[in-house]
Structure 1
Amino acid sequence: MGERLARIILCSWFLAQGPALAQTVSYDDIQPILQVRCVMCHAGEAAPLGLRLTSLDELLKGSVSRPVVNSGDPAGSELIRRLKGQSQPRMPMTGPPFLSDAEIGVFEQWIAGGLQPGSRPPSVMVESAPLQRPPAGQPLTYNHVAPIFASRCVKCHSTNGLMGSAPEGLLLSSYAAILDRHERVRVVPGASAASELVRRIRGQSLPQMPYDGPPFLSDEEIQLIIDWIDQGARDANGQPAPSPVGSRVRLQGRLGEGWTLDSVPLVLGPGSRIDKSPGVGDFVEVRGRWSQDGRVLVERIRRR
């Protein structure tokens, strides 16, 4: 937090100096912001549109379709347009919060001043930040899992993703979107095994996600998401999400003894529809609603 505050103060100071200081702003001044807010997505082979922001050379190279900075022209630079939300989707994908006006101002002054390289060698920037867990005794929050969604999922699951609209309408670009239950719930707080999101990234529901895998998520990434959900899918402030009792679910997996879907208990009633005579061990799809006692009230089950 101290480093971020110092950076914001520095950015504010830059803005206060006016155009005369534009020439003094260099890549050294924007690199820390790129590292904290951008590199989690824009690094490696999976970088959206091939735009890597891990070095000055990569930034100047731009994406597969165009340069993203035009020397001397901040208003005409796609990087600035994305940071301000003038082009969509707005960046960074983990926002809100997006970059502050002061932080964006540093990028504008760097571009206006001719893209000065500074003195920092390109090799000092690491490609991605390691996964972070909270100190012992403190819960996981959305802040701990957001980088995973941002780097591996949001490129498709956003309003203007690589596949156009988000597949199946599933947005993973914000906490509210991930917990949305309008059509059906994909994350059941406190019950990762009943969460479609987890079953997708583990390959229990098909197709396994992310869609551009392999490589899929690492065991460490998957476990972090599982632990976050099992601890209540807490928001960035540590507040647990409410239980989605009555919400629709759609899950796939192996049918077990005593009407279970892997480890998830199922409840069949007179209105439950059973298609294609599923038996123990069969791969099935279950549609139903989440009950207060932690079971799925089956509306339809069918062998796939």
Structure 2
Amino acid sequence: MGKVLGLVKLCSLMLAPALVLAQDVSFDDIQPILQARCVMCHAGDAAPLGLRLTSLDELLKGSSIRQVVVSGDPANSELIRRLKGQSQPRMPMTGPPFLSDAEITLVEDWIAGGLQAGSRPADATARPAPLLRPSEGQPVTYEHVAPIFASRCVKCHSAYGLMGSAPEGLLLNSYAAILDRHERVRVVPGASGASELVRRIRGQSQPQMPYDGPPFLSDEEVQLIVDWIDQGARDDTGQPAPSPVGSRVRLQGVLGEGWTLDSLQLVVGPGTRIDKSPGVGDVVEVRGRWGQDGRVLVDRIRRR
């Protein structure tokens, strides 16, 4: 019996440092992680499932369907399950990279220690970072527009989005995915007017995106994306993307004089299929390919 009690005491002593460490972690330690990786999506009226992570009070409220943290029980806290990928989609939805092991452990310790509040008021709000703009004379790169995609688009356009799989297979959670041209090209570097992504966020192509709008993207956000594309859709190192010559495009807009689509020049030839007798001023859908000379080579045009 004495040996058993001795082992219990020994185990208690071994666990004590870990318990003290967990209790020492407060929301002061957690909020910077949420601010950097989570608040861009989980804030305001558009927060997925109503889960706002902008303050301790909001986090403790949980989502519209469940609590996401269980005091003293990290293993049964949905927040931890999402951060580790035990529940899908794994968070943050902009990953990889996801949170580091050290960051996840810190959140686990905070939950295990009883969700200590820290020094700030429980309703103190961390706001999403303002738009990131390049320095004067520098080009717009993916680094500047990625937060917009992350906060307004990735919630649906990811492998495990709010609508299930990404609509039309379009992933917007990485630079490579946004520039993908396998099925058709949505971003034409150097030509925002020929980029379906721009036409969607402007409402020239329907349905207007983001799908959960209004509110849709602000004029500033739209202009930053337009500038990024017109300046070559540069990656985060500043390297411009190659022109997707020959890639399929699908665009909607208003037909203008001389076979133009909202001033974008179209090439309509003998092989072009013309449906429903479109005329100037009609809203049309155009399918074709991006040409070497910066024009759309039209395979089909039809009035909508």
Q: TM-score, normalised by structure 2?
A: 0.91
Structure 2 unaligned blocks of 5 or more: 1-16
> 2:167 and 2:292 mapped to 1: Cα distance?
29
Cross-structure match for 1:120: 120
> 1:18 and 1:242 mapped to 2: Cα distance?
52
Cross-structure match for 1:295: 295
> 2:166 and 2:56 mapped to 1: Cα distance?
31
Letter of the 2:102 partner, please give it: A
Could you tell me how far 1:301 is from its partner in structure 2?
0.5
Could you tell me how far 1:234 is from its partner in structure 2?
1.6
Runs of 4+ with deviation above 4 angstroms: none
In 1, are the aligned partners of 2:55 and 2:126 still within 8 Å (CA)?
no
**1:94-243 alignment runs, 5 A limit:** 94-243=94-243
| CA deviation map 1:150-198 (0-9, x unaligned) | 2211222222222222222212122222111111111111111100000
> 1:80 and 1:272 mapped to 2: Cα distance?
54
- Does 2:77 correspond to 1:77? yes
> 1:95 and 1:273 mapped to 2: Cα distance?
42
Give the SS at the match of 1:122. coil
Give the SS at the match of 2:107. helix
Letter of the 1:243 partner, please give it: S
Change (3 A) 1:144 1:25: same
Cross-structure match for 1:256: 256
> 1:203 and 1:184 mapped to 2: Cα distance?
19
In 2, are the aligned partners of 1:94 and 1:146 still within 8 Å (CA)?
no
Cross-structure match for 2:13: none
Q: TM-score, normalised by structure 1?
A: 0.91
| CA deviation map 1:217-251 (0-9, x unaligned) | 11011001111111111222222222111110000
Could you tell me how far 1:18 is from its partner in structure 2?
4.6
> 2:193 and 2:273 mapped to 1: Cα distance?
23
> 2:34 and 2:193 mapped to 1: Cα distance?
35
| CA deviation map 1:22-55 (0-9, x unaligned) | 1100000001111111111101111001100011
Give the SS at the match of 2:227. helix
Question: Mean Cα displacement is larger for which, 104-113 or 137-146?
Answer: 137-146
| CA deviation map 1:259-288 (0-9, x unaligned) | 111121111222111111111111110000
> 1:24 and 1:61 mapped to 2: Cα distance?
23
In 2, are the aligned partners of 1:189 and 1:231 still within 8 Å (CA)?
yes
> 1:226 and 1:129 mapped to 2: Cα distance?
20
Give the SS at the match of 1:150. helix
What is the aligned-residue RMSD (CA, Å)?
A: 1.4
In 1, are the aligned partners of 2:57 and 2:123 still within 8 Å (CA)?
no
Give the SS at the match of 1:59. helix
Identity %: 84
Cross-structure match for 1:7: none
In 2, are the aligned partners of 1:42 and 1:53 still within 8 Å (CA)?
yes
Structure 1 unaligned blocks of 5 or more: 1-16
Could you tell me how far 1:75 is from its partner in structure 2?
2.0
> 1:267 and 1:103 mapped to 2: Cα distance?
54
Q: Which has the larger radius of gyration?
A: 2
Could you tell me how far 1:205 is from its partner in structure 2?
0.7
> 1:184 and 1:48 mapped to 2: Cα distance?
28
Question: Mean Cα displacement is larger for which, 49-58 or 71-80?
Answer: 71-80
> 2:239 and 2:95 mapped to 1: Cα distance?
18
Cross-structure match for 1:55: 55
In 1, are the aligned partners of 2:196 and 2:250 still within 8 Å (CA)?
yes
Cross-structure match for 1:266: 266
Give the SS at the match of 1:75. helix
